[in-house]
């Protein structure tokens, strides 16, 4: 099966995760896909294949050299984002993209245009896989799965490429921040790993945001509006004032690069009670801690103004910048850079303005930077992936496996 055929088959599985479910995997349909992948891994001849009750699928490509070689893993997630429908995905191929608008659905008037998505112009002349405008595509991260599986097939077909033991891992629920929570690092048994979950070709990432959530609750007092003078306390107004008191230029739409932000995710309320949900992001750990303290200081100020207990905030850390774990072992990055160079791919080391399972896995003892998977415009109907990018990612995996035995590292 060619890598494109494999990818097109995978995206037709509906694997949306659900942050409200409270179980793992968060949706039963992820397990359906996991069972399919397990069977496929068996058919291609991988070994030590395990699928646990939570949907974590591990497998091994045994070493074909007697040399003492570190065990390296490749990881991708099976779920797609809850942000947009992943049901009945109907991909199509735009052959030799000409640089113009791509009509996804003439009937619905849905068009992907380089005026809105200029990254399209980096792939003029290439074949692109796009949606029909009614769903996301699922390249995040079924492109990564297709690349890993195809690389294992290639290595089995080319035994002249000597490599150590390779582990592959496919997990559920990355899109809701739970993908690494039940990932058994000891069972996976690797010296280090790579998540194949990045975007544009050549991206290599070992820095990500430090991340926290903040749930702010505002209490009010509701009385009949006709008799409310000097009695009613409208929590909606206090919540709106709280929002205006946050740094208005430190939001996602106002920041880029290494700039952190506060992001108001939701605001729901009545006169009696209003709830705000924020996420807090910053690459710098010191600045990250300052952002969390800013929320708490604002709460204190509002309680002094409106009365103790009017406003409360629950701030919880979500994940941290993997750089502090990866940096002491920079050979992990060096080998990935060398692999891309050998494959003729310009490497761009950049910071993730988000997080990956690799960030959490790194702090669980498995250093795990992130490599491009090739998809773009994730989580919506304009998602696409160049076919050539799938192949380039697969070739990068193969070359990493080939380079590791030459590293001057002992297990």
**Is residue 327 flagged as an active site residue?**
no
For the residues of 228-267, what is the DSSP string, one character each? -TTT-B-HHHHHHHHHHHS-TTSSGGG--TT--EEEEEEE
Provide the terminal-to-terminal Cα distance of the chain, rounded to the nearest Å: 34
Q: What is the 3-state secondary structure (H, E, C) of 203-216?
A: EEEEECCEEEEEEE
Q: Is the dihedral of CA 166, 152, 13, 89 positive or negative?
A: positive
For the residues of 88-149, what is the DSSP string, one character each? T---EEETT--SS-EEEETTTTEEE-TTT-GGGGGGTTS-EEE--SSS---HHHHHHHHHHH
Residue 198 backbone phi and psi in degrees, to 5: -90, -175
**Is residue 53 flagged as an active site residue?**
no
Q: Which of 174, 203, 282, 383 is catalytic?
A: 174
Collapsing DSSP states into helix, strand and coil, what is residue 157?
A: helix
Measured CA to CA, the distance from residue 190 to residue 78 in angstroms comes to: 20
Q: Which of 40, 79, 141, 175 is catalytic?
A: 79
Q: What is the DSSP letter of 406?
A: G
- Report the catalytic residues: 79, 174
């Amino acid at each position: 099966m060619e890598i494109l055929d494999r990818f097109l088959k995978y995206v037709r599985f509906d694997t949306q995760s659900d942050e409200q479910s409270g179980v793992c995997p968060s949706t039963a349909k992820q397990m359906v896909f996991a069972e399919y992948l397990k069977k496929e891994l068996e058919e291609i001849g991988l070994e030590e294949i395990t699928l646990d009750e939570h949907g974590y699928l591990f497998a091994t490509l045994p070493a074909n050299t007697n040399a003492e070689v570190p065990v390296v893993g490749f990881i991708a997630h099976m779920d797609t984002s809850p942000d947009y429908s992943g049901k009945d995905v109907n991909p199509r191929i735009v052959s030799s993209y000409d640089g113009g608008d791509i009509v996804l659905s003439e009937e619905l008037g849905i068009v992907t245009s380089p005026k809105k998505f200029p990254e399209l112009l980096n792939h003029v002349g290439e074949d692109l896989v796009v949606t029909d405008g009614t769903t996301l595509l699922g390249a995040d991260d079924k492109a990564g799965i297709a690349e890993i599986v195809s690389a294992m097939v290639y290595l089995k077909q080319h035994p002249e490429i000597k490599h150590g033991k390779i582990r592959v891992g496919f997990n559920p629920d990355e899109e809701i921040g739970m993908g690494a929570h039940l990932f058994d690092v000891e069972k996976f048994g690797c010296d280090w790993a790579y998540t194949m979950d990045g975007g544009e070709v050549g991206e290599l990432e070992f820095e990500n945001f430090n991340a926290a959530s903040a749930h702010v609750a505002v209490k009010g007092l509701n009385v009949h509006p006709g008799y409310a003078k000097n009695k009613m306390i409208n929590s909606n107004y206090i919540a709106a004032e709280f929002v205006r008191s946050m740094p208005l230029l430190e939001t996602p739409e106002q920041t880029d690069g290494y700039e952190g932000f506060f992001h108001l995710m939701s605001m729901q309320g009545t006169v009696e009670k209003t709830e705000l949900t924020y996420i807090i992001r910053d690459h710098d750990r010191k600045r990250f801690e300052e952002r969390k303290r800013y929320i708490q200081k604002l709460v204190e100020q509002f309680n002094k103004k409106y009365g103790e207990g009017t406003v409360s905030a629950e701030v919880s850390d979500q994940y941290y910048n993997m750089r502090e774990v990866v940096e002491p072992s920079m050979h992990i990055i060096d080998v990935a850079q060398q692999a891309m160079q050998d494959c003729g791919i310009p490497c761009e080391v950049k910071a993730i303005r988000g997080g990956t399972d690799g960030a959490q896995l790194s702090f669980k003892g498995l250093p795990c930077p992130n490599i491009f998977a090739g998809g773009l415009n994730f989580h919506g109907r304009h998602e696409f992936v160049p076919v050539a990018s799938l192949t380039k990612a697969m070739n990068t995996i193969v070359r990493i496996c080939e380079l590791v035995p030459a590293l001057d590292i002992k297990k």
